[in-house]
Amino acid sequence: VVVLLGWRYSIWFALIVVIAVACYVAFSIYATERRTAYIRRANEAESRSSSRAVDSLLNFETVKYFGNEHYEAQRYDEELAGWEVARRQNRLSLFALNGGQAFIIAAAMTAAMILAASQVLAEKMTLGDFVLINAFMMQIFMPLNFLGFVYREMKGSMANIEAMFALLRQRPTINDTTEAPSLQLQDGCIEVENLNFQYHSDRPILNNISFKVAAKQKVAIVGSSGAGKSTLLKLLFRFYDASSGRILIDGQDIKSVSQASLRGALGIVPQDTVLFNMSILENIRYGRIDASDEDIYEAIRMAHLSEFIARLPKGVDTLVGERGLKLSGGEKQRVAIARALLKKSPIMIFDEATSSLDSASERLILEAIKDIAREHTMLVIAHRLSTVVDADHILVLDQGEIVEQGNHESLLAQQGQYAHLWLMQQRERSSAPIPTQ
């Protein structure tokens, strides 16, 4: 069209088209890039306000404990105000982009029509030429305007899904080796050799840890908070890889086998029990999705949940609420124990499994654990030493190092840290007030 207008009519028509197209493209790119920044701000503001609302609602009990409803509402209102400003800037930038594009097109069309009209008045062009130039200009700028719209929408959409692309670019830090074989379980023996680990280079967590858990043996790990007990479990499940040293299960380095087979061989009752907003039955079934109802009821019986469930109007179909908030701490822990029992893993791990239980429930659970120990290799992390007195071997962890090890009697005879902890806990129990009727 530029060549035709310049050759057949006037170079000025060609210049109008070239200048208008160049201005349209340059303005569209510049304004769209500026608008994309506003879209990102709006998305970030919306994400912050949504996170603020979800965080407040999930922790509503804490909000009510401290009477901070007004404070949370105010913080949410501030986040919404930021989102409102970002959205306003986004919409105004869109209006500016559309207005600028329309102005460039209108200015070019007007300039071309004025030039063509002057040529007609000067009798250098016919009225048919005027109509033809008008048609040419419309044929140029209508598709150009559509292309500007497509470019704007594409850039806006890309900004909206940047977070998803960033998520897709994430790669797990712990990966299986190429064609990693499955863990071949025989006896369920665990060996830890010269294990070292730190989250940050300036703060070591585990220092040269070595021990062995023989098949169907119960080994306990005790120690003060921050000693590295739970970190050891995370390394066993390969949530992290050790800085040096290795962990073997039946002679196989856990780094060389698939993570799915490794975690399938380990059953755990975690310290912080997390339940889904489903029924008790479905929460227990989560331990083994293909389990039959009979297997689930057997796990319930072994976890001493039968009496509690019998008292519920809907029994095992009772919904536990978000994060299990409709159950007490002890009830949630027993559901977690039933879930772990249902998995029937050769190696069982109990991380403070009785920390939320009363004395009567604790006694029942300990009896169940004692029954399980006959058929499983067990690793028990405990704060209350009374729960591990029957362990075959006890490791005392302090500042990431094994400072003592042996059975209960031998550790008491050493008069070391374990004996000191035992004495302190016995004094606490003896000084506890006796409940009155």
420 class by beta-carbon count within 10 Å (0-12 exposed, 13-18 middle, 19+ buried): exposed
Edge-to-edge strands of the sheet including 218-223?
266-269, 347-351, 377-382, 218-223, 393-398, 401-406
CB proximity list for 402: less than 8 A, separation 6 or greater: 209, 210, 211, 395, 396
Q: Return the pLDDT at 436.
A: 42
CA 34 to chain CA centroid, Å, is: 32
**How many residues are there in the chain?**
437
Q: Return the pLDDT at 429.
A: 66
Beta strand 266-269 pairing with 393-398: unpaired
| 171/153 Cα distance (integer angstroms) | 29
Q: Return the pLDDT at 158.
A: 84
Q: Judge if 2-168 and 190-431 fold alike in CATH terms.
A: no
For residue 415, report the phi and psi dihedrals to the nearest 5 degrees.
55, 40
What is the model's pTM?
0.71
Mean pLDDT over residues 31-46, rounded?
A: 86
Considering the chain, what percentage of its residues have pLDDT values greater than 70?
Answer: 93
For residue 401, the one-letter residue type is: E
Mean pLDDT over residues 262-283, rounded?
A: 86
Mean pLDDT score across all residues of the chain: 83
Question: Which residue from 231, 173, 236, 237 is spatially nearest to 206, judged by alpha carbons?
Answer: 231
Condensed to tens digits (0 to 9), the pLDDT of residues 123-182 reads 777 788 788 878 888 888 888 888 888 888 888 888 888 878 888 888 888 888 888 888
Inter-residue contact 120 to 130 (CB < 8 Å): yes
DSSP 177: P
2 class by beta-carbon count within 10 Å (0-12 exposed, 13-18 middle, 19+ buried): middle
CATH 1.20.1560.10 fits 2-168, yes or no: yes
Condensed to tens digits (0 to 9), the pLDDT of residues 314-360 reads 888 888 887 777 887 778 888 888 888 888 888 888 887 666 566 66
Mean pLDDT over residues 373-384, rounded?
A: 79
DSSP 207: E
| 434/55 Cα distance (integer angstroms) | 40
CB proximity list for 242: less than 8 A, separation 6 or greater: 195, 196, 197, 206, 235
CB proximity list for 389: less than 8 A, separation 6 or greater: 408
Provide the CATH number for the domain formed by 190-431 in this structure: 3.40.50.300
User: Domain spans of the chain?
Assistant: 2-168, 190-431
Beta strand 393-398 pairing with 190-200: unpaired
Condensed to tens digits (0 to 9), the pLDDT of residues 239-259 reads 888 888 889 988 888 888 888
Q: Which residue has the tokens 């297997």?
A: 295
Give yes or no for residue 435 having a pLDDT over 70.
no
Question: Among 34-48, 139-153, 181-195, which is the least confidently predicted range?
Answer: 139-153
